[in-house]
Chains A and B, each alone.
Chain A
């Protein structure tokens, strides 16, 4: 990999998955720092905090779909209203166990989403995605 990415933001309401995926990514050494958020709201707050200080923004966001209160798609609705520095720097991939066709097409159709990764997360798929 040419330039190692710096910061990853993981948004998932499920504590177990948050733990598993952050561990997998830690082992992979693909990122220097992993930030965990347990809700879409926390994720937005984190981004807002660094809107004025783009160096602190995550390079990559892994976003769960099914979350209480604010699901992944609602998160994206708010995300797109952030200034360009934010939306252009932070690449978003969704990470979900969904098999629901509606979810899959919706994720693929969203202009802010690079792809939908399936749980369980396989390192190989993440690596290939980051290469692009």
Chain B
């Protein structure tokens, strides 16, 4: 800030005032003067200044009129009004409308005007800084968007090709041909794909605005079960969906929430359980959806219950990413939903969520 010389334009119809202003400030400021509003406008056309000082009482165009006009064409410079008499009404209006930053009474004293100009430049500077920061953020945001798009395409495409090859190997009966190697490659690819998908979900949850659409749980729940039980046919699903009225909500987030919970209910079954089951109950009212997802799986240790919604929390014995429930919680936060959990190693785990019906 110290390096920049502040550029000031001073407009006054009295030549003497212009001269004494120049004499007082030329050493500290880069001073431009004009003896009328129209002269001032001419200067502004060729030059950008930081601060403009104008006398209120001028023939043809007054200071307030001038400032009101240039507020549109030259919004950046900070405007200071000099006024010899107290035309409160015009002044008050102009200040309230934001056309004037400061006013200084005439005859001005050097120190007061100096301080006023310094403050004005400070305001100019912080406005500029803010503008630059915003531009910078917009750029970063834009890059992030493109990065996410490339994750969902370029980064995932070769991974999916690899999964296709494993698929082909299975079809040709070669899956067991190299000991464990093919199954291991499959496990790694699935895991990486899972991370990619969770990362995208997390990001999209943070970025996307809520869009409310009508949601029919009687089709949504079976669809989600089909998607997530694709690789596991052992778990039996019982559903009880009571939806007598329309429900409106954010379909992307609700799918993310339910999808993660259903996938967990499948993933965390007891291995030796003969009768693996998951129960899903949905009750829709005019104000909310109440959804309960219970399993008879391995349960969650009491001491872990508090931590399950934190990012990257996972237990040693399992293959989770530590992202699923964290994303569930984040997504619920976005749509004002709530979640509670109860669990025991005997009966399994029950998640209960409520999501407001937004209509």
Interface set of A (CB-CB < 8 Å, partner B): 14, 16-17, 20-21, 23-24, 27, 66, 97-101, 119-123
Selected from A97, A100, A120, the residue in CB contact (under 8 A) with B167 is A120
Cα A120 to Cα B165 in complex, Å, equals 9
- 8 more A-B residue pairs beyond the given contacts A21-B164, A27-B168, with a C-beta to C-beta distance below 8 A: A17-B157, A20-B161, A20-B167, A20-B168, A23-B168, A66-B153, A98-B152, A122-B167
Cα A16 to Cα B157 in complex, Å, equals 10
| Given A17-B164, A20-B165; A100-B171 close (CB under 8 Å) | no
Selected from A14, A16, A101, A123, the residue in CB contact (under 8 A) with B171 is A123
Shortest Cβ gap from B100 to chain A (Å): 47
Closest 5 pairs (CB-CB, A-B):
A120-B164, A97-B160, A20-B164, A120-B163, A99-B152
B161–A14 touching, CB < 8 Å: yes
Cα A98 to Cα B157 in complex, Å, equals 8
* Minimum CB distance partner of B158 in chain A: A16
B165–A97 touching, CB < 8 Å: no
- Report chain B residues within 8 Å CB of A14: 157, 161
- B144-161: which have CB < 8 Å to A? 149, 152-153, 156-161
Interface set of B (CB-CB < 8 Å, partner A): 149, 152-153, 156-161, 163-168, 171-172, 196-197, 200, 204, 252
- Report chain B residues within 8 Å CB of A21: 164
Shortest Cβ gap from A100 to chain B (Å): 5
* Minimum CB distance partner of A118 in chain B: B160
* Minimum CB distance partner of A102 in chain B: B149
- Please list 21 pairs of residues, one from A and one from B, whose beta carbons are closer than 8 Å in the complex, sorted by A's number: A16-B161, A16-B165, A17-B157, A17-B161, A20-B164, A21-B164, A23-B168, A24-B167, A97-B153, A97-B159, A97-B160, A98-B152, A99-B200, A100-B153, A101-B252, A119-B160, A119-B161, A120-B161, A120-B163, A120-B166, A122-B167
- Report chain A residues within 8 Å CB of B171: 24, 27, 123
Shortest Cβ gap from B223 to chain A (Å): 14
Cα A98 to Cα B164 in complex, Å, equals 15
A97–B156 touching, CB < 8 Å: yes
Shortest Cβ gap from B216 to chain A (Å): 17
Shortest Cβ gap from B54 to chain A (Å): 51
B156–A27 touching, CB < 8 Å: no
Cα A20 to Cα B156 in complex, Å, equals 16
